[in-house]
Amino acid sequence: MASRGKATILDIASKAGVSKSTVSLVLQGSALIRPETASRVRKAIEEVGYVYNRGAANLRKAHSNVVGMVINDLTNPFFAELAVGMERVFQSAGIVPFIANTAESPVRQGEVLKSLLEQGVAGLIVSPAHGTSPDAFEHIRSAGIPVIFTMRRLSGSRIPVVVPDNPRGAFLATRHLISKGHRRIAFLGGFPDMVVYHERVGGYREALAAHGIVADETLVIQGDTNRKGGMSAIDTALAFSPAPTAAVCFNDAVAFGAMTGLRKRGLEPGSDFAIVGFDDVAEAQHYMPALTSVAVDTAGLGERAAHTMLNMIRAGTTDAESHIGAISLIVRDSCGPDITEARRTA
């Protein structure tokens, strides 16, 4: 049946024999109205199947209850895990996160952002698409809407950031390979126009330097930060002579790709070539061989970002402390045993 026009606060007011103001108060759980009246109103609400019109409310209220999560690649399970961590926090604060995917396209990102803004979001948590210009966000921020970057940052931007300790992570990963006896170690994936890339490559170089190994710049191989990028990067790496015996990968996706690439050439990851990943996605521990990776506490970062956002919203500010999350190296099987002196120089 469902009458075409949806029920409004007015309908339920007349049904309950009170004024619209009273209904509004009940909806907001105000202590002002008499419990008895309140329950009568609630009953009426139930009966007509009323649904609250948040758009109308936001017209009067200062801010909405939705924050946007703008994510550059939803098919990377890493971001899904991040989203899940955030949702937990937001849920209990009564605010609803809407997730939008930009598929790594700045254009798409612009559209998505526009929509979210039109919808009147209270804040934005963003992992910016590759190639984003920083202005876009400064603009939003200076309009008074809190923005947090997560996992990626834009150079020169003053927007608060929640990221893992990338340099340290890459340092630990590299040091691990060195301690296993490797000397020719490649770095696979990523592009120099991402800040994260410099952070991770920086940690890698630092570790090499700290152990007196001269970095061979040809072993730093750029590429897409997904499986495919990993497969082609490992091909490039193995073409050098002498070839590297190990690689630190930009992230786990690249690492999985690199491992597949090794197998294609008849090399077994772990025993023939050591691989370390970054992110420690759920899949890492189930892979064959299980992937040694830098764990970034994804869900924790998500929660942290969500909390920070909550505080910004409550305080009505667009400023916040950035957070650099602790990382840890999870050693599994993909680096194999220590290599012998013979192989090292082979």
Partner DNA sequence: GGTTCTATTTGGAACGTTCTAATTCACGGA
Partner DNA sequence: TCCGTGAATTAGAACGTTCCAAATAGAACC
Q: Which does 271 bind (CB under 5 to 8 A by kind): DNA, a copy of itself, none?
A: none
Contact segment (CB under 8 A) with a copy of itself among 14-22, 28-36, 74-82, 304-312 equals 74-82
In which residue are the tokens 């008849």 written?
Answer: 266
Candidate list 3, 4, 29, 59; residue touching DNA; CB under 7 A:
59
Largest Cα–Cα distance in the chain?
90
CB of 210 to a copy of itself, least distance (A): 34
* Residue 138 binding a copy of itself, by CB under 8 A: no
Residue 330's Cβ-side half-sphere holds a number of Cα atoms within 13 Å equal to 18
* Residue 5 binding DNA, by CB under 7 A: yes
CB of 346 to a copy of itself, least distance (A): 25
- CA dist., res. 234 & res. 253, Å (int): 13
Q: Do residues 98 and 116 make contact, with C-beta atoms less than 8 angstroms apart? A: yes
Q: Do residues 98 and 43 make contact, with C-beta atoms less than 8 angstroms apart? A: no
HEC assignment per residue over 133-173: CCHHHHHHHHCCCCEEEECCCCCCCCCCEEEECHHHHHHHH
Candidate list 24, 65, 105, 328; residue touching DNA; CB under 7 A:
24
Other beta carbons less than 10 A from residue 70's beta carbon: 23
- CA dist., res. 306 & res. 300, Å (int): 10
Number of residues near DNA (by CB under 7 A): 28
Candidate list 18, 22, 70, 97; residue touching a copy of itself; CB under 8 A:
97
> Based on CB atoms, which residue is closest to a copy of itself, 2 or 32?
2
Q: Which of 98, 101, 99 is nearest to 74 (CA)?
A: 101
> Based on CB atoms, which residue is closest to DNA, 2 or 59?
59
Q: Which of 197, 185, 255 is nearest to 222 (CA)?
A: 197
- CA dist., res. 165 & res. 296, Å (int): 8
Please give the distance of CA 98 from its chain centroid, rounded to a whole number.
14
Identify the H or E element spanning 110: helix 106-118
Q: Which of 21, 23, 52, 51 is nearest to 37 (CA)?
A: 23
* Residue 133 binding a copy of itself, by CB under 8 A: no
| Tokens linked to 285 | 């521990």
Q: Which does 97 bind (CB under 5 to 8 A by kind): DNA, a copy of itself, none?
A: a copy of itself
Candidate list 43, 46, 47, 56; residue touching DNA; CB under 7 A:
56
CB of 267 to a copy of itself, least distance (A): 13
> Based on CB atoms, which residue is closest to DNA, 59 or 214?
59
Candidate list 29, 49, 212, 266; residue touching a copy of itself; CB under 8 A:
49
Contact segment (CB under 7 A) with DNA among 3-11, 161-169, 241-249, 312-320 equals 3-11
Candidate list 39, 47, 52, 321; residue touching a copy of itself; CB under 8 A:
52
Q: Which residues bind DNA (CB under 7 A)?
A: 5-6, 8-10, 18-22, 24-25, 27-28, 32-34, 36-37, 50, 52-53, 56-57, 59-62
Q: Which residues bind a copy of itself (CB under 8 A)?
A: 1-2, 4, 6, 49, 51-56, 58-59, 64-66, 74-75, 77, 80-81, 83-84, 87, 91, 96-101, 103, 108, 111-112, 114-115, 117-120, 139, 142-144, 227, 256-257, 260, 263, 282-283, 286, 288
